[in-house]
A and B are shown apart, each in its own frame.
Chain A
Amino acid sequence: IQLTQSPSLLSASVGDRVTLSCKGSQNINNYLAWYQQKLGEAPKLLIYKTNSLQTGIPSRFSGSGSGTDYTLTISSLHSEDLATYYCYQYNNGLTFGSGTKLEIK
């Protein structure tokens, strides 16, 4: 399964509501996770099984979706959310999307 993330680059202001998209080439059956990777760091798990928040992750992060289309939403952008975000499917093989780089205006 191939994953297409959009946009590849997103610029937003602190306090904005931000939505990142991930589209699969086939049905993912909700086996989709989201990772945050800050510059020079290892990826961090944010969301798994479409909408389950990983322990310790702020509630401003949420996930939704079904079938082939999934979304990561940050309800109110913080400056520390500057990072690249990857979606990851584990329904059929294991694949990552190409990432969305989130910049703070």
Chain B
Amino acid sequence: EVQLVESGGGLVQPGRSMKLSCAASGFTFSDYYMAWVRQAPKKGLEWVASISYEGSSTYYGDSVKGRFTISRDNAKSTLYLQMNSLRSEDTATYYCARHVNYYVMDAWGQGASVTVSS
């Protein structure tokens, strides 16, 4: 069974940093591109970032470019999202997702809640 489990969320002050992790199991992690998607409270879905199989290529949404960094450790089957210079508008549930069939996302974690507030 494919499982994605996010961790590392919580409350953080504006301007500070936070790192999310996503532990994958039930599939060969290194065979898939991976992504982060977020959802602000009572809002829609927003793609945040994606990463290639070995991590050599990364892609970011405009709202996080230059502040967030996606990375992966295939030996640990773990995806990461380093978030710097956090803003109140980054408050959201962050989902880890697996890419298939070009860039469709077919498996999702349960989400990690990040609240940026003083």
Residue positions of A touching B, CB distance < 8 A: 31, 33, 35, 37, 42-45, 48-49, 54, 86, 88, 90, 94-99
B103 contact set on A, CB distance < 8 A: 31, 90, 94
Chain B count of residues within 8 A CB distance of the other chain: 20
Task: List residues of chain B with CB under 8 Å of any chain A CB.
Answer: 35, 37, 44-47, 50, 59, 61, 95, 101-106, 108-111
Bound Cα distance from A43 to B105, whole angstroms = 9
The main secondary structure of chain B at its interface with chain A is strand
| Residues of chain A within 8 A of B110, CB atoms compared | 42
Pair A96/B101 contact, Cβ less than 8 Å: no
- List B contacts of A31 (CB < 8 A): 102-103
Question: CA of A44 to CA of B47 in the docked complex: distance in angstroms?
Answer: 15
Give me 12 other A-B pairs in contact (C-beta within 8 A), A88-B45, A88-B105, A94-B61 excluded: A35-B45, A42-B108, A43-B37, A43-B45, A43-B108, A44-B108, A48-B104, A88-B104, A94-B35, A94-B50, A94-B59, A96-B46
